[in-house]
């Protein structure tokens, strides 16, 4: 492997990718229409970035119950499927590959999104966050209500149906969102999950919901088109588990048996060394445990991404914010060019500004 390891081809699930640079999933809040459906704006945004070996879309809620942010696109209605078709056609026309991220936020929501009904969680839980709601203001999250056993099983079915819809929309595969303190991670962690049915208790029971979702999605679309994102060192939206290391050691070792397209892990954000039983070096620790294709994300640069692949700590590396301001990130990596800076003020503002108006180097030169 050479110093341009990020630019070498790699097999991923059912596909051979042209490079190992992944566009990470990023919420951008541009589906500002009643259907919460992607538009031509989404199609242009993703097509601009199709030189990535793989694009993973922003989280797309698998049901109305799964929404927790303004203007995030769903994957549960005919209008949303049609909207996503615009995206996949545009990306494929540019020679790209694209997976849809399947999402349910769980407690990280607000009644304003649900006609006054409470958000849901494994157990009664308030993430203590802020939600910008359809009422047009930042509101404090509330205590979510505990899901019944039957409702948990219905959400598993929602993920499988979302995966089928993604295939109808022309995606190359799906990534299940099990990170960042959303519903799947809420089930995993004993700081939140206090259930007494088969989805609560010891680690295997708390992981049951995750594995039922994985198995349902595999049955729907095939293992080679199914992927999963986890965040073993996450402290956002979800308090740490009493033994996060043991929890994720169990989960990630078991995932090796599923033949997934890939496992996508987030590195720690900040110093987590003071948290008991939490792994600080995510890639170093879990590369030894997981036997399949591994994508690493969070804080990587061109240099550290190449080094991670050369050292065998990752097979691919995902980049988030750099892709916002650099639609031609792969080409800039190839040329060793300077990266443009992203405007944080437009990360979540509907419209073209800060979304599709970042120029590529070639267009700047022209």
Which residues are identified as catalytic? Answer: 182
**Could you give the 3-state DSSP secondary structure of residue 199?**
coil
Pairing of strands 15-17, 10-12: antiparallel
Backbone angles phi, psi at 265, to 5 degrees: -115, 145
Q: Which residues pair with 317 in a beta bridge?
A: 21, 296
Sign of CA dihedral 134, 136, 141, 142: negative
SS3 11: strand
Q: What Rg, from alpha-carbon coordinates, does the chain have?
A: 19
**Of 321, 309, 304, residue with least CA distance to 358:** 321
Using the structure block, give the residue that is written with the tokens 């969102």: 177
Pair type for strands 120-121 and 130-132: unpaired
Q: How far is Cα 23 from Cα 55, in angstroms, rounded to an integer?
A: 5
| Distances 100 to 17, 56, 168 between C-alpha atoms, Å | 16, 6, 12
In the chain the first and final C-alpha atoms are separated, in Å, by 34
DSSP 3-state of 263: strand
Cα dihedral across residues 185, 188, 190, 192: positive or negative? positive
CA neighbours closer than 13 Å in the CB half-sphere of residue 39: 17
- Among candidate residues 224, 156, 166, 218, the one with its CA nearest the CA of residue 187: 156
* Structural tokens at position 201: 């208790």
Grouping H, G, I as helix, E, B as strand and the rest as coil, residue 275 is coil
């Amino acid at each position: 492997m050479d110093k341009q390891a990020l630019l070498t081809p790699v097999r991923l699930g059912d596909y051979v990718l042209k490079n190992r640079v992944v566009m990470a999933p990023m919420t951008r809040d541009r589906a500002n229409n009643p259907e919460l459906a992607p538009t031509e704006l989404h199609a242009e945004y993703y097509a601009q970035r199709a030189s990535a070996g793989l694009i993973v879309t922003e989280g797309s809620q698998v049901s109305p119950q799964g929404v927790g942010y303004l203007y995030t696109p769903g994957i549960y209605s005919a209008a949303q499927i049609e909207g996503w078709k615009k995206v996949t056609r545009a990306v494929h026309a540019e020679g790209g590959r694209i997976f849809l991220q399947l999402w349910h936020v769980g407690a990280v929501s607000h009644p304003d999104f649900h006609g006054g009904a409470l958000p849901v969680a494994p157990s009664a839980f308030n993430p203590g966050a802020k939600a910008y709601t359809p009422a047009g203001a930042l509101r404090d999250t509330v205590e979510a209500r505990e899901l019944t056993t039957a409702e948990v099983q219905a959400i598993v079915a929602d993920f499988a149906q979302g995966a089928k819809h993604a295939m109808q929309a022309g995606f190359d595969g799906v990534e299940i969102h099990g990170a960042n303190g959303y519903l799947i991670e809420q089930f995993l962690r004993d700081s939140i999950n206090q259930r007494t049915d088969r989805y609560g208790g010891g680690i295997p029971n708390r992981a049951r919901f995750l594995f039922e979702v994985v198995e349902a999605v595999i049955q729907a679309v095939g293992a080679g088109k199914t992927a999963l994102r986890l965040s073993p060192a996450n402290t956002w939206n979800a308090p740490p588990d009493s033994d996060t290391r043991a929890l994720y050691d169990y989960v990630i070792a078991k995932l090796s048996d599923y033949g997934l397209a890939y496992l996508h892990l987030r590195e720690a954000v900040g110093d987590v060394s003071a948290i008991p039983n939490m792994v600080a070096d995510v890639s170093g620790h879990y590369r030894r445990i997981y036997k399949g294709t591994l994508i690493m994300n969070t804080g990587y640069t061109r240099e550290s991404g190449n080094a991670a692949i050369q050292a065998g700590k990752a097979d691919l590396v995902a980049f988030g914010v750099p892709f916002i301001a650099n639609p031609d990130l792969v080409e800039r990596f190839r040329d060793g060019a300077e990266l443009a800076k992203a405007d944080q003020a437009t990360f979540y503002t509907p419209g073209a500004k800060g979304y599709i108006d970042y120029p590529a180097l070639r267009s700047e030169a022209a």
